[in-house]
């Protein structure tokens, strides 16, 4: 296993080595940077641990860099951070930590390199490389981290129960690293995830969701969600998703397991996009199936209205997980609400009106919606899959035809509320909304063209119908 570094990084190490030597501080590069470089993965974050004052070392190093970088100091944590070229370099003094049972915030005091490595979450993150003249470049590996990199294993340096009890966020990180790197979690470490999952409740939702988003953005996110479910963590942090799991059988009729179906949809989508919010729409597209599940002796299992109820659940889920309550949430909500519409169009003779309505409601997100719908095909029957894909291709063609003809994406009707009020000499009122909606529906139904003159004539006729006259 080779430690591959860029030339400018080598130069930085030399500067740190010289500065640390003058201060009399043994210095080491540790953690994720070492792990990623050994795995030949890119890394822009460099952590430097010294047996001494990390802030003083940061100032000494900054003075040797050109241009001289600005240093951000976090006195409370005894750390300092600077940016140089494409790297973010953090300096800290070696420390040891102790924890109270009700908090993940440790009591920290100065320590040795060995004590600093003891407090690391996983053996692959406890690796250090010496920047000292006596053994410059040597790897310090007290927990067999190199072997675990080779064997692709996530394992804690100390007893896993203590590691996870001290800082329960490490449970999410174990699953995140396993998912990102394609590693296995060691059996004893995995068992501790199950045994200590209740400890996750002391962690803030923001920190949990940061790890959850990294799992979602990994190449095969289903791996992480299966671990989260099997260890009981998903039930603690995202119970609505855990509730999708399971199959019920009545009168010999079963429905599919909506949890594993959702994971298939997520993986299918993830092969084509790294859009986090589109991936969230895959996670939530069937989220309301448990509360809408009904059994009918003739029809079997149904989930009528799960798309509408699912869309209404999105804001609460986003709020609980401390996800942004802005346009990103509305985007996910829209895709959840519309995810059955394209397939319903393939089950009937597609009218221009139905296509117009879908274009109007989806707007610029129509392509993402179609990508989600295609990812939602999880049948194991190749003939069914082929038929569904051909149907979606037909919908895509019709969408393109109608869009080119009517230009309805992000469309606003040609008659505004202001025009209606000025024409009839009225103030904002219920009648303005009635006329606006009638004009929109007439255009979407194809009764009138999407142009001003026809819409104006329709407005005058509609106004007369509800007892309004144009002002003189």
Q: Are residues 145 and 158 located together in one domain of the fold?
A: no
Closest of 456, 468, 453 to residue 419, by C-alpha: 456
Q: Say how far apart CA 124 and CA 146 lie, in whole Å.
A: 7
Q: Are residues 116 and 220 located together in one domain of the fold?
A: no
Alpha helices in 110-168 (DSSP H): 113-118, 145-151, 160-166
DSSP 110: E
Write down which residue in 205, 237, 269 finishes a domain. 237
Sequence-distant (≥ 6) Cβ neighbours of residue 106 within 8 angstroms: 97, 98, 99, 119, 166, 167
Q: Are residues 40 and 106 located together in one domain of the fold?
A: yes
Q: Are residues 139 and 169 located together in one domain of the fold?
A: no
Q: Are residues 44 and 137 located together in one domain of the fold?
A: yes
Whether the CB-CB separation of 431 and 468 falls below 8 Å is answered with yes
Q: Are residues 166 and 34 located together in one domain of the fold?
A: no
Q: Are residues 140 and 158 located together in one domain of the fold?
A: no
pLDDT, residue 70, reads: 95
Q: Are residues 166 and 119 located together in one domain of the fold?
A: no
Q: Tell which phi-psi region holds residue 470, choosing left (phi > 0), alpha (psi between -120 and 50) or beta.
A: beta
Q: Are residues 140 and 169 located together in one domain of the fold?
A: no
Q: Are residues 54 and 185 located together in one domain of the fold?
A: no
Residue 186's domain comprises 154-237
Q: Are residues 37 and 121 located together in one domain of the fold?
A: yes
Total structural domains within the chain: 3
Q: Are residues 54 and 134 located together in one domain of the fold?
A: yes
Assess if residue 381 is contained within a domain.
no
pLDDT, residue 1, reads: 63
Assess if residue 140 is contained within a domain.
yes
Assess if residue 406 is contained within a domain.
no
User: 18 to each of 14, 84, 384, how far by Cα in Å?
Assistant: 6, 17, 67
pTM over 0.85: yes
Three-class SS string for 440-457?
Answer: HHHHHCCCCCCCHHHHHH
Q: Say how far apart CA 197 and CA 229 lie, in whole Å.
A: 11
Length of the chain: 472
Q: What CATH number corresponds to the domain at position 188?
A: 1.10.110.30
pLDDT, residue 101, reads: 66
pLDDT, residue 105, reads: 67
pLDDT, residue 408, reads: 62
Q: Say how far apart CA 209 and CA 172 lie, in whole Å.
A: 9
Which portions of the chain are predicted below pLDDT 70?
A: 1-3, 97-108, 348, 406-411, 472
Q: What is the pLDDT of residues 218-258, one digit of tens each?
A: 999 999 999 999 999 999 999 999 999 999 999 889 999 99
Q: What CATH number corresponds to the domain at position 83?
A: 3.30.460.10
Whether cis (ω within 30° of 0) applies to the bond prior to 67 is yes
Cα atoms in the Cβ-side hemisphere of radius 13 Å centred on 227: 30
């Amino acid at each position: 296993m080779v430690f591959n570094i860029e030339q400018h990084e080598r130069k930085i190490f030399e500067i740190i080595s010289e500065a640390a030597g003058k201060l009399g501080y043994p210095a080491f590069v540790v953690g994720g940077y070492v792990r990623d470089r050994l795995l030949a993965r890119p890394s822009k974050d460099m952590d430097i641990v010294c047996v001494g004052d990390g802030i003083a070392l940061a100032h000494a190093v900054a003075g040797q860099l050109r241009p001289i970088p600005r240093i951000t100091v976090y006195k409370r944590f005894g750390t300092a951070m600077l940016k140089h070229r494409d790297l973010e370099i953090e300096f800290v003094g070696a420390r040891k930590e102790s924890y109270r049972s009700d908090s993940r915030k440790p009591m920290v005091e100065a320590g040795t390199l060995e004590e600093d490595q003891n407090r690391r979450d996983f053996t692959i993150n406890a690796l250090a490389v010496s920047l000292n003249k006596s053994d410059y470049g040597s790897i310090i590996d007290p927990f067999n981290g190199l072997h675990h990199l080779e064997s692709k294993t996530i394992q804690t340096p100390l007893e896993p129960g203590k590691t996870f009890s001290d800082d329960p966020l490490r449970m999410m990180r174990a699953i995140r690293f396993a998912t990102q790197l394609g590693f296995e979690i060691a059996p004893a470490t995995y068992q501790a995830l199950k045994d200590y999952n209740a400890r996750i409740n002391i962690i803030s939702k923001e920190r949990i969701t940061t790890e959850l988003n990294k799992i979602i953005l990994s190449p095969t996110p289903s791996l992480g969600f299966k671990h989260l479910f099997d260890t009981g963590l998903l039930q603690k942090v995202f119970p609505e998703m855990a509730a999708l799991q399971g199959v019920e059988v009545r009168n010999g009729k079963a429905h599919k397991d909506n949890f594993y179906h959702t994971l298939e949809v997520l993986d299918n989508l993830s092969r084509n996009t790294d859009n986090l919010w589109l991936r969230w729409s895959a996670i939530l597209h069937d989220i309301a199936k448990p509360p809408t599940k009904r059994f009918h002796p003739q029809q079997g299992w149904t989930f009528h209205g799960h798309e509408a109820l699912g869309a209404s659940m999105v804001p609460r889920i986003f709020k609980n997980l401390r996800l942004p309550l802005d346009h990103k949430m509305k985007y996910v909500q829209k895709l959840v609400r519309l995810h059955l519409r394209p397939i319903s169009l393939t089950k009937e003779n597609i009218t221009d009106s139905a296509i117009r309505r879908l274009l109007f409601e989806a707007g610029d997100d129509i392509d993402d919606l179609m990508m989600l719908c295609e990812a939602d095909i999880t049948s194991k029957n190749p003939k069914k899959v082929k038929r569904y894909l051909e149907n979606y291709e037909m919908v895509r063609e019709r969408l393109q035809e109608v869009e080119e003809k009517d230009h309805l994406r992000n469309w606003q009707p040609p008659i505004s509320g202001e025009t209606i009020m000025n024409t009839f000499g009225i103030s904002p009122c219920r009648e303005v909304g009635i006329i606006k909606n009638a004009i929109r529906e007439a255009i979407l139904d194809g009764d009138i063209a999407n142009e001003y003159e026809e819409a104006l004539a329709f407005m005058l006729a509609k106004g007369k119908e509800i007892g309004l006259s144009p002002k003189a």
